Amino acid sequence: MTVAPEKNELVVPEGHVKLVIDGIEVVAPKGELLIRTAERMGITIPRFCDHPLLDPAGACRQCLVEVEMGGRPMPKPQASCTITVADGMVVKTQVTSPVADKAQQGVMELLLINHPLDCPICDKGGECPLQNQALAHGRTDSRFVDRKRTFAKPIPISTQVLLDRERCVLCQRCTRFSAQIAGDPFIELLERGAQQQIGIAEEKPFQSYFSGNTIQICPVGALTSAAYRFRSRPFDLVSTPGVCEHCSSGCAERTDWRRGKVMRKLAANDPEVNEEWICDKGRFAFRYTGAADRVLRPMVRDKATGELKQASWTEALQVAAEALTKARGSAGVLTGGRLTLEDAYAYSKFARVALGTNDIDFRARPHSREEQEFLASTVVGTTPETGVTFTGIEAAPTVLCVAFEPEEEAPIVFLRLRKAARKGRTKVFHIGQWTSPAVEKTFGTLLATPPGGEAAAVDALSSHAPDVTEGLGKPGSVILVGERAAQVPGLFSALLRLSEQTGARIAWIPRRAGERGAVEVGALPTLLPGGRLVADAAARAEVEQAWGLEPGSLPDVPGRDTNGIIEAAANGELRALVVGGVDPYDLPDPQLALKALRTADFVLSLELRHSAVTEFADVVLPIAPSVEKAGTFLNWEGRRREFGTTLDGTGALPDCRVLDTLAVEMDADLFTQTPTAAAGDLARLGTTSTARAAAPTVESRQQSLPQSDGQALLATWRQLLDNGSLQEEEPHLAGTARRVVARLSEHTAEVLGVDKAETVRVSTDRGSVTVPFEYADLPDGVVWLPGNSGDVRVRRELGALHGSPVNVHPGGTE
C-alpha cells in the first residue's frame, strides 16, 4: 500500500483527527471508536461484545489490533472497540499485522474451546457471528482435546426467552442491553471464571418488554425464544422488510417467513425511529393472523336461521350494497384505530361518497369533542420536518409526559426518553398518578394528580412547579400527550396554553398504529382528508374537484363522533353501521355499543377474525392483516412508514379494495382498488391552504375526590401486554406481561378498610372485579387498575373511565 502523495493531503476538519489504518490515511471525528473508523473504511475487525448502541465493554477481546502512538508502539495489542481515535495514531489490523492476526485467532480459538459446536441444531446456525467470524478469522482445527464445560440446558429465564449457557460467549450484550437500553436489569452475570454465566435472580424472571432484543443481538445461539426455537433455519427463510402494526411508533421490522407462514419478526435498523430495537409485542405478537376464528370467506346472515353462512363475494357485496344504498344518509362508519393510511382513506371516502355522510370516526376508545378539535387544529398535517420526532425527543432539554405512559403505550418512545435521560441532557417530567416503572427508568419526576385532575395540574404548573415551565421554555423542549387525555376535560386546551406560554412543542402519541393516519385522511366527523374542514365550503370544493364529484355533493354538516354514532344507532336514528376493526368492549360504553349493533337494521363488518361485531353483523367481509397487504402507517411523528406485501397470494384483500368494490356495487367510484391506487388518489388531493380548525378552549376543572365512604377515583390505562386481540395465540409472550394488580396508597387502603385483605373488589353499578393489590405512591382516594389485563377489563366489567368514581371494598381471599 502506498501512502497518498503529499499534495493530496487530507484536510482535517475541526473536531477531527487524522490517523493511519493499515497504511491508509483517514480522517475521523474525535471520540470515534477505532473499530468504527476501520469499518467505515471497509476494514471489518471481528467482534462479539461490541455493539454500536451499547457502552463499550472490551470483554471478548476479539477485536485486538496493533496501535502505535506518537511513533511508539503500544506494548500490548489494543481492543479496537474501546480505544478512541487519536491524531497521529498508526493502526495495524489483522490485515497488515501478524500480531493482531494471531491475537484474533487466539481469542477465537479460546472462545471455541467451550462452545458446543452444535451448529447443525442451533437456531443461530447460518446467521451466527461466531460461526461466520470463526470461518473468517479462526483456525481450521482445534488443539483442544480436553473436557468442555457443560451446563444443564436450556433454562427458561422467562416464559419467552430460553438460555443455553454452554453456547454463551459471555460478551454481556444481553446484560448491557437490559441494564443500559431497557433499564430492566433482570439478567446479570453470575459466578466467575469459566463458570461465569448469565442468570436471573430466584423467582425474578426476565420480565422486560424488550427481552426479545437480547435474542437478536446475541452473537451466538445462547438466547432463543420459545416462539421460534427449533422452528426453522435462517437460510430457509425469506426476509421481507415491514412496519410494525401495533403501536404508533411505526418501527421498521424484518419479517422472516416461509411457505406462506411468518416464522419470526426482527427489528430492522432505522436510526430515525426505532434504532435497532423493537418491543416484544412487535416481535412476538403476530400469530393472531393464523387464529382458528379467522374470517376467510365473505359471510351473509341467513334470514331464516339467523346464522352467518359463507357466501360468494358477489352475493355478499350485493347484499351489503343494497342495504347500504337504502340506508344512504343514515349510516355511520366506525373504522377502528388500526388501519393503514390507504385503508382509512378508503373508509373516509366511502363514507362521504358512497354513504353521503360525515358520520365517521376512527376512535374506538373514549374520546371527546375537545380531542377532535385538538387533532384538527394541532395534529393534522404535522410531519417529521415540522413536528416533534424521536430524535427531537432525544435532543430535548425537557420532556413533559401528560396522560401518557410511554413504556406501556409507545415502548420505542420510552426507549428514546430513557436514552435521552440517561445521557443526562434531558429532564423528564410525568404528570400521572404513581411512580410507574417508566417514571423511574426515564429518571423522571412524577407530578402526581388525581385522575381527571391533569388539566388543573397543567394550569397550575407555573405556580406549583416553576422548574417544569422553566425547563419547557428551553428551545427544543417537548410535551408528549397520550390517548388518555381525551378522558380529561380541558386537558388538551390546558396543554395548548402551556405550549403557547413556554414555546414547547406538543406531540400526540396515540396507542394504536392507525390513529395518526386516520386523522390525516379525515376519518373524523369534522375533517376531510388533509385537515380540510367539513364545514368549510372552500375545503369541500377542493375535495369535490379532486374526487370528480358534482359541486355541492359532499355532505356539509359535521357528522357524529363514535359516541354519537353509537347513540344514534342504538335509538334507531341511524339505520346502518359499517364497522372496521372495532372491539365494542374498547368503547366508552360497551353496553350501549352492543345495543347499537343489535338495533341497527344493517351491520356490515369488515373483519379479520370473528368478534363481538361479527356476532351482530348481517354481512361480514374478510380483510387482510398487515402482513398480507401493502400499505403505509403514519406514525405519531407523521412519518410515512410504507411497507410491501409480505405474504403474497393468500387471497386476502385489503379494506381499500373491498370498499372500492362495494362502492362500485353502490354506483360510486373510490379509485382505491389497490393500496397504491388509494395512495395515489390521496396524494392528488395535495395540501390545502383552506382554513384550519380552531384550537379547543375547554375550561380545566379541579377533580374533586369522592366524598362518600368506600369510594375512590379510578385511574386506569392499558398495559403493553394485555388481553389485546392482536396478542392472542402467543402464550409465551403473555407470560411476560406485568402481574395484574390494583394499586393504591397505604393510607387509602386503610381508609377504605382493605389493608387487611388480600384482594380488593372494585365495583360500579355495571359490575365488579376482584384483584390483588399493591401499594404505590398514588394520591389518596385513588385506585389504579390496568385497563384490560386478565380478569380486570375495566370498560367491559365496570363501564368506568379514567377519573370515574368507583366503589372499593375488601375482596376476601383470591
Partner 1 sequence: MSTVDPVTPVLTKRWLSPRSWSIQTYEQLEGYTALRKALTATPEQIVQVVKDSGLRGRGGAGFPSGLKWSFMPPNEDKPHYLVINADEGEPGTCKDIPLMMADPHSLIEGCVIASYAMRSHHCFIYVRGEVLHCIRRLNAAVKEAKAAGYLGENILGSGYDLEITVHAGAGAYICGEETALLDSLEGRRGQPRLKPPFPAAAGLYAAPTTVNNVETIASVPYIINGGSDWFRRMGTEKSPGPKIYSISGHVERPGQYEAPLGTTLRQLLEMAGGMKDGIPLKFWTPGGSSTPMFTAEHLDVPLDFEGAAEAGSMLGTTAVQVFNETVSVPWAVMKWTQFYKHESCGKCTPCREGTYWLVQILERMVDGNGTEEDIDTLLDVCDNVLGRSFCALGDGAVSPIQSGIKYFRDEFLALCQKNREKNRKPAMAGAN
Positions touching partner 1 (CB under 8 A) are 56-62, 64, 75-77, 82, 102-103, 106-107, 109-111, 113-114, 143-144, 146-147, 149, 169-170, 188-189, 191-196
Report the residue number, 149 or 287, with the smaller CB distance to partner 1.
Answer: 149
Tell me how crowded residue 615 is: count the other CB atoms within 10 A of its CB: 15
Residues 10, 12, 18: CA angle, nearest 5 degrees: 80
Q: CB of residue 123 vs partner 1: minimum separation in angstroms?
A: 23
Query: How do strand 331-334 and strand 360-361 relate by DSSP bridges?
Result: parallel
Query: How do strand 805-810 and strand 711-717 relate by DSSP bridges?
Result: antiparallel
Residue 202 CA to residue 717 CA, distance in Å, equals 30
Q: CB of residue 660 vs partner 1: minimum separation in angstroms?
A: 60
Report the residue number, 19 or 577, with the smaller CB distance to partner 1.
Answer: 19
Report the residue number, 56 or 473, with the smaller CB distance to partner 1.
Answer: 56
Residue 500 CA to residue 695 CA, distance in Å, equals 12
Q: CB of residue 139 vs partner 1: minimum separation in angstroms?
A: 11
Query: What is the 3-state secondary structure of 732-779?
Result: HHHCCCCCCCEEECHHHHHHHCCCCCCEEEEECCCCEEEEEEEECCCC
Query: How do strand 631-634 and strand 640-643 relate by DSSP bridges?
Result: antiparallel
Residue 338 CA to residue 718 CA, distance in Å, equals 16
Q: CB of residue 70 vs partner 1: minimum separation in angstroms?
A: 17
Q: CB of residue 188 vs partner 1: minimum separation in angstroms?
A: 7
Report the residue number, 112 or 351, with the smaller CB distance to partner 1.
Answer: 112
Residue 317 CA to residue 323 CA, distance in Å, equals 10
What residue type is 305 in one-letter code?
A: T
Match 387533532 to its residue by C-alpha cell.
375
Cα 292 to Cα 295, 296, 432, 608: the distances in Å are 9, 10, 40, 11
Residue 542 CA to residue 261 CA, distance in Å, equals 44
Report the residue number, 69 or 113, with the smaller CB distance to partner 1.
Answer: 113
Cα 794 to Cα 388, 715, 756, 799: the distances in Å are 32, 10, 24, 6
Report the residue number, 185 or 772, with the smaller CB distance to partner 1.
Answer: 185
Residue 199 CA to residue 97 CA, distance in Å, equals 38
Q: CB of residue 187 vs partner 1: minimum separation in angstroms?
A: 13
Contact 784, 433 (CB under 8 A): yes
In the three-class reduction of DSSP (H, G, I as helix; E, B as strand; rest coil), residue 162 is classed as strand
Report the residue number, 188 or 573, with the smaller CB distance to partner 1.
Answer: 188
Q: CB of residue 77 vs partner 1: minimum separation in angstroms?
A: 6
Match 394499586 to its residue by C-alpha cell.
743
Residue 764 CA to residue 710 CA, distance in Å, equals 11
Cis bond upstream, residue 772 (ω within 30): no
Residue 405 CA to residue 786 CA, distance in Å, equals 12
Report the residue number, 114 or 702, with the smaller CB distance to partner 1.
Answer: 114
Q: CB of residue 150 vs partner 1: minimum separation in angstroms?
A: 13
Residue 660 CA to residue 671 CA, distance in Å, equals 7
Q: CB of residue 711 vs partner 1: minimum separation in angstroms?
A: 44
Distance of CA 377 to the CA centre of its chain: 25
Burial category of 424 from C-beta neighbours within 10 Å (exposed 0-12, middle 13-18, buried 19 and up): exposed
Report the residue number, 191 or 203, with the smaller CB distance to partner 1.
Answer: 191
Q: CB of residue 385 vs partner 1: minimum separation in angstroms?
A: 39
Residue 635 CA to residue 689 CA, distance in Å, equals 24
Q: CB of residue 169 vs partner 1: minimum separation in angstroms?
A: 7
Tell me how crowded residue 9 is: count the other CB atoms within 10 A of its CB: 10
Report the residue number, 133 or 736, with the smaller CB distance to partner 1.
Answer: 133
Cell of 795: 370498560
Half-sphere exposure of residue 574: CA atoms within 13 angstroms, side-chain side: 33
Report the residue number, 111 or 399, with the smaller CB distance to partner 1.
Answer: 111
Closest CA to 114 of 172, 165, 78: 165
Report the residue number, 13 or 75, with the smaller CB distance to partner 1.
Answer: 75
Q: CB of residue 395 vs partner 1: minimum separation in angstroms?
A: 24
Report the residue number, 190 or 694, with the smaller CB distance to partner 1.
Answer: 190
Report the residue number, 111 or 685, with the smaller CB distance to partner 1.
Answer: 111
Q: CB of residue 107 vs partner 1: minimum separation in angstroms?
A: 5
Q: CB of residue 167 vs partner 1: minimum separation in angstroms?
A: 14
Q: What's the DSSP call for residue 703?
A: P
